[in-house]
Structure 1
Amino acid sequence: MADRTLDASGLRCPMPLLKTKLELNGMTSGQTLLVIATDSGSARDIPAYLALTRHELVSSSEEGDQYTFMIKCAG
């Protein structure tokens, strides 16, 4: 279970990534964020962003046109 959930469904690039960044900025180290997106660019953009940060991509999945990401905040 995530500490916070960000539903970015229906938002187009770059909004899912920008909202993910903003949400992570307001979280403390060790908290988890579940991101739900429908923009296919999210499958590329969110993991690429996380690779440049100390945040951890715990899991990601794609089901139909829905992409989910579980992220552990580095603080």
Structure 2
Amino acid sequence: MTTTPLNLRGLKCPLPALRVRKALKGALPGTLFVVECTDPMAAIDIPNLMRETGDAIEHSATQGEILVFHIRKG
């Protein structure tokens, strides 16, 4: 399985969610994305996006001001 980092630090809403959607669209099932964001709205937008796409957040954490999501393409 492939792990792909997505550094979305400094991007403001709605760009983090849009970039994650684009990355997921072109990915093979089983791909793991490690997404790093600094926009606090990503804590709402990315889980909502996962409900829309059917992909899964396997882990999420906050490291200082950085939100980290481990997203698995379904």
TM-score, normalised via structure 2 length: 0.92
Deviation at 1:53, TM superposition (A): 2.2
Q: Which residue of 1 aligns with 2:70?
A: 70
Deviation at 1:68, TM superposition (A): 0.4
Deviation at 1:52, TM superposition (A): 2.2
Q: Which residue of 1 aligns with 2:16?
A: 16
Deviation at 1:59, TM superposition (A): 0.6
Output the aligned Cα RMSD.
1.0
> Structure 2 matches for 1:1-75, cutoff 5 A?
3-74=3-74
Give the distance between the partners of 2:5 and 2:26, measured in 1 at CA: 13
Give the distance between the partners of 2:25 and 2:5, measured in 1 at CA: 14
- In structure 1, the gaps of 5 or more residues are none
Identity, % of aligned positions? 30
Deviation at 1:48, TM superposition (A): 1.3
Runs of 4+ deviating beyond 6 Å: none
- In structure 2, the gaps of 5 or more residues are none
